[in-house]
Amino acid sequence: MRTILIANRGEIARRVIRCCHSLGIEAVAVFSDADAGLPFVREADRAVRIGPPPADQCYLDMERILDAARRTGAEGVHPGYGFLAENAVFAEAVIAAGLTWIGPPPAALRAMGDKSAARRLAHEQGVSPVPGYDGADQNDATFAREAERIGFPVLVKAAAGGGGRGMRRVEQAAELPDALASARREAKSAFGDDTLLLERYLERPRHIEVQVMGDTHGNVLHLGERECSIQRRHQKIFEESPSPAVDDALRAALGQAAVKVARAAGYTNAGTVEFLLDPEGHFYFLEMNTRLQVEHPVTELVTGLDLVALQIRVAEGRPLPLTQDEVPLQGHAIEARLYAEDPNRDYLPSTGLLVRFDLPSGDGIRIDSGYRSGDTVGVYYDSMLAKVLAWGVDRDEASRRLLRAVDRSWVPGVVTNLPLLRQVLAHPAWTSGELDTGFLPRHGLPALPPLNLDRGAVAATTFGWWHRMQRATWPGEVLPGWRMEGPAVAEDRWRCGNTEVLVAWRTLGPDQLEVTVTVDEEAPATHQIRVLGSDGDALTVELDGVVSTWRSALRKAHPGDPTQIEDDDVVYTHFGDGESMMALAPRFPPPLAADAPAGSCIAPTPGTVTALHVAEGQEVRKGERLATIEAMKMEHVLEAPEDGTVIAVLVEVGQAVDQGAVLLRLDTGEE
């Protein structure tokens, strides 16, 4: 093949483009209106606009993608992961158009893409699936009966797709009907198929997956395992290879089982066979992901193989270049997924401008990202921004390298899960390798990250002061904060959330100032700061005798001087071992806008209303479900804040809403 079209976006599109270029192949990108400015569009040799932002009008539109392939003369199609990657109909359409499909054959997609069918195939091969129900009867009564047989808690799962979508844990029978309805909606939206299955919820299992690769010459290899136990909402956050729980004997058994399942499915190209490993060392078949995985770089780092290049090689009909005995496994690799989401608000997705997108480089560090500084994160697609990976000679070295990398990562402008990544990597249970799928709640994570109020206020004040100093136009110009009688004290008020910080400062010289910080009613603290140098927005400072470098960035709240901090502007600072976000409080605050009425149900994020669970006039109890909205492919259930009566339903199912929109109003008896 000389030209390959990538039927995907963002980080994985960039990854495939890089591989194509390394092989001397031209890469064609497709993009939606929302993605027109992202890096993958510019890095491709050619790019074709395929529609407006909603996924079903662009990246899920088969005809538009095939038309782009025809218009650009592409000879092959790489689907990446997500969207149409596991869609057998799309694979058949690609082949029917005379193009090369860079993925498993449609028959294997059908056999293994349906989790129910995959469970049955694994069982036939002597590979035990997790106990459950995967029958064709989809009636709620049947699920209720089977759940009682399996025993609670159970897991409701979408039979199609993956990524944790359409998955609900059910603790007791009364919760099952709502879980089925919600899982069906999410599965239908994400995969176009609302078929469900049940599985026994295993307590404290590890999630272990095996990378397989097959060619059209009868060769099927496994490339070792990855552990993916640390998850949120059934979606992975960390992946590593090898697993700290897998020895050589277990690795051989897992690999043999994975290859057996892949052969039985007639599988070629890249795929992943997933297992749950219980505390006693027994493993159970979970599912097969019939595509390249998000976490494939972990395997690449420990094997030295380029999995995308192998995919292309197999699609071209060539045999795999090595045997099972020749697969190298060296060192340890760990991946952390960076998401635009707020772990302390039930992982609500975050949108907005990436004021900075600084991810580190260094020995043993690999960054796969879809964004850069100045890009906008929207509401239409998955919230993953990048993958930060580290390789080391052993797990300890890889962990230390990765912790330093995420410590130094800085993504101001949107809320991210960086604080959670740091908390996990610093936790003793991570260090000891004591992992399972319940790791986060078991260890009380996520925890609220430190606000760095004192240091943040000092940095924001220093940042503003230094830039005012740099605007001096002649040597004799009066320094900021000076008066005829000598240095005077100036004051600023900064806000971080609901906390206000008072800063009194005075200039002591052209590179030196004194800052006194008062947080709430605490005793004031005075600091001496000297600026030793600057490089763009980075300042090297001596704070109370300690020298370090701060990176700062300004986000304007309103149009104005882009170099001057004004009311409500936000200063972000990264200290190397922490970060802060401080907004300059107006000296003359405007009158407060009226708050939403008591009992209002407010949209916590931009999204689409997918369900209304109550009607006007209905009485509800605190915690009862009111509405469900979908954002970035995930459903979020909104609950009644108090007991009351629904007095107004202000939205309809299918309606798009902004963050802060009032969806329903309740009469809670409050004035």
> Can you tell me the distance from the alpha carbon of 274 to that of 201, in angstroms, rounded to the nearest whole number?
15
Written as one letter, the residue type at 488 is: A
Residue 607: strand pairing partners: 657
Tokens standing for residue 283: 């493993």
Cross-strand bridge partners of residue 580: 573
CA neighbor of 302 nearest in space, from 393, 372, 228: 393
The residue assigned the tokens 């538009």 is 64
Q: Catalytic annotation on 345?
A: no
Q: In whole angstroms, what is the distance from residue 234 CA to residue 256 CA?
A: 26
Q: What are phi and psi of 18, to 5 degrees?
A: -60, -45
In three-state secondary structure terms, 520 is: coil
Residue 71: its H or E element: helix 62-72
CA torsion 187-212-334-411 (nearest 10°) is -40
- Helix extents (H) in 534-607: none
Instruction: Identify which of 379, 312, 292, 370 has the alpha carbon closest to the alpha carbon of residue 341.
Output: 379
CA 148 to chain centre: 35
Nearest to 147 by CA among 121, 179, 114: 179
Whole-angstrom distance, CA of residue 440 vs CA of residue 444: 6
Element (H, E) at 147: helix 140-150
CB atoms within 10 A of CB 426: 13
SS (H, E, C) 395-446: HHHHHHHHHHHHHHCECCCCCCCHHHHHHHHCCHHHHCCCCCCCHHHHCCCC
Residues contacting 508, CB < 8 A, separation 6+: 487, 514
Distance CA 643, CA 653 (A): 23
Comparing C-alpha atoms, which of 490, 486, 520 is closest to residue 503? 490
Neighbour-count burial of 193, counting CB atoms closer than 10 A to its CB (0-12 exposed, 13-18 middle, 19+ buried): middle
- DSSP code at position 4: E
CB-based contact 585:495 (threshold 8 Å): yes
Distances (CA, A) of 214 to 112, 147, 269, 308: 15, 37, 5, 13
Question: Which tokens sit at 193?
Answer: 């198929």
Write the CB contacts of 293 (distance below 8 Å, at least 6 apart in sequence): 81, 209, 211, 270, 272
Q: Among 110, 165, 184, 291, which one carries the catalytic annotation?
A: 291
Identity of the residue numbered 406: V
Q: Residues with catalytic annotation? A: 291
